[in-house]
Amino acid sequence: MNSLTDDWILILDFGSQYTQLIARRIRELNVYCEIHPFNTDPDTFKNHPPSGIILSGGPSSVYDDDAPELNLDYLELDLPVLGICYGLQSLAHAIHPGAVEKAEKREFGRATLLVDDNSDLLKDLESQSTVWMSHGDHIKDLPDSYRPIAHTSNAPVAAVRHNEKEIYGVQFHPEVVHTDEGKTIFKNFVDDICGCSRTWTAASFIETQIRDIRDQVGDENVLCALSGGVDSTVVATLLHKAIGNQLQCIFVDNGLLRKNEYQNVLNTYREHLNLPVKGVDASQEFLDNLNGVVDPEEKRKIIGSTFIDVFDREVLDEGKYTFLAQGTLYPDVIESISFKGPSATIKSHHNVGGLPEKMNLTLVEPVRELFKDEVRNVGRELGIPESFIGRHPFPGPGLGIRIIADITKERLVLLREADAIFIDALREHDLYDEVWQALAVLLPIQSVGVMGDERTYEFTIALRAVTSLDGMTADWAHLPYDFLSIVSNRIINEVKGINRVVYDVSSKPPSTIEWE
């Protein structure tokens, strides 16, 4: 549990794809929150109780055999509660004589909310507003102590409240942008009902983390692996501010970096950020270890274990270092557990795993509780140049998971050149800052083409660009056709070995941002 603030909101996750969005909306109000599985023991929080509890939505029906059930002990904590969609249904189902049933007309998409009681939770809402529904069940009977405070044409109970306690529920999803006044609902809950103070800011985070880092580290030395990305750079800058020359950074060229990335980033670290950085060129070692490997999970594990070998050889001399700093983010933590407990992991995260176990180091993860945009705000507060803060995310395994085949020097050259053309063109056309992440992927597909009068049989590049706030969800970026045409022509004309370019129009979910 975080020690940064006395006021915080607990979000119990019942499996909704929107749970992370709830957290984002609360954080946007400068209030700290954490997501925990629905079956977390309430005693977990007895030493630092939350100011309020939000019950997320979920894909289940309350009548499913394995449906997640609300632990009624949470209602005995005498804290404000807000149930969202399934969270509301779990309330109604758990408390006699409430009842939930299959709706005659399921509601998916926009609906008009008609407010019956505009006090407390629905204060300052218009009498009619658009909300986003996503449910097949609805509440048939409310428990005796509850009353409806809003409805829609299909749902007579669209929002409820307890007659005496600060317990509320909504059948719709206030966390999604399609709900016009969702931010007002969360503001009412957090500010007025829970009484939270808005102290969750970048400045307060830095102040508290510097103190916590000093308390954790003491007089010991810290090793920080720099990737060239925003996360590890913010971590290193924060640590340097906290402990000065007790920090040693290492930036490894793993042979999987973008074009000219190693030298450019190393210069930025040393000349502009004044970080103590040791550069290590281990590119051939990584490529040798990855020779012939196709499976993406195996690639990630090999890259991780090779990093350990490099650290062992280059910097871990005679137990000089006690701590290892990592740029683990909150989405990494969330995606590594499921609402039912340990998950079947979608992908192993480069910063969440067994790295310190073999190295016998204690982890320092100062941005573990932050989303990506929050890390950027902290970086700005620390004075890191905007040109660096605004850089697109780049995965720890680098181009290794953007070659959908075994990795060779020849394929890396093709991908590097195509990627550089794409990224440079985005900058030249003032589109770089319009997208959250852009990348090129080399596909293991060769196809027939014609260049001049000659037949070609060459590789395909897939371009991907997405818009997002934090990477938890993302939509494909609607880049102009003329721009895509320019990029395609340049790649095909300038990168010998590529004769076809395609554009990825998949969103997350169901797809992930990276292909592997």
Catalytic residue IDs = 85, 173, 175
Buried b or exposed e, range 393-409, using 16+ CB within 10 angstroms = bbbbbbbbbbbbeebee
Distance CA 279, CA 276 (A): 10
Q: Which residue has the tokens 């979920």?
A: 58
**Dihedral of the CA atoms 19, 22, 28, 34 (nearest 10)?**
-60
Distance CA 435, CA 237 (A): 25
Looking only at the bridges linking them, the beta strands covering 277-281 and 32-37 are unpaired
Q: Which residues pair with 502 in a beta bridge?
A: 462
Residue 436 makes CB contacts below 8 A (sequence gap 6+) with 392, 393, 466, 467, 468, 469, 471, 474
Cβ atoms of 202 and 15 closer than 8 Å: no
Q: How buried is 100 (Cβ within 10 angstroms: 0-12 exposed, 13-18 middle, 19+ buried)?
A: buried
Q: Which amino acid is present at 321? A: Y
Complete DSSP assignment for 397-412 = TGGGGSBSS---HHHH
Buried b or exposed e, range 377-388, using 16+ CB within 10 angstroms = bbbebbebeeeb
Tell me the two tokens of residue 1: 């549990």
Distance CA 353, CA 182 (A): 36
Cβ atoms of 74 and 29 closer than 8 Å: no
Complete DSSP assignment for 105-156 = EEEEEEEEEEES--SGGGTT--SEEEEEEEEEEEEEE--TTEEEEEE-SS-S
Q: Which amino acid is present at 194? A: C
Q: Which residue has the tokens 């990335």?
A: 261
Residue 264 makes CB contacts below 8 A (sequence gap 6+) with none
Q: Count other C-beta atoms under 10 Å from residue 277's C-beta.
A: 20
Q: Count other C-beta atoms under 10 Å from residue 297's C-beta.
A: 12
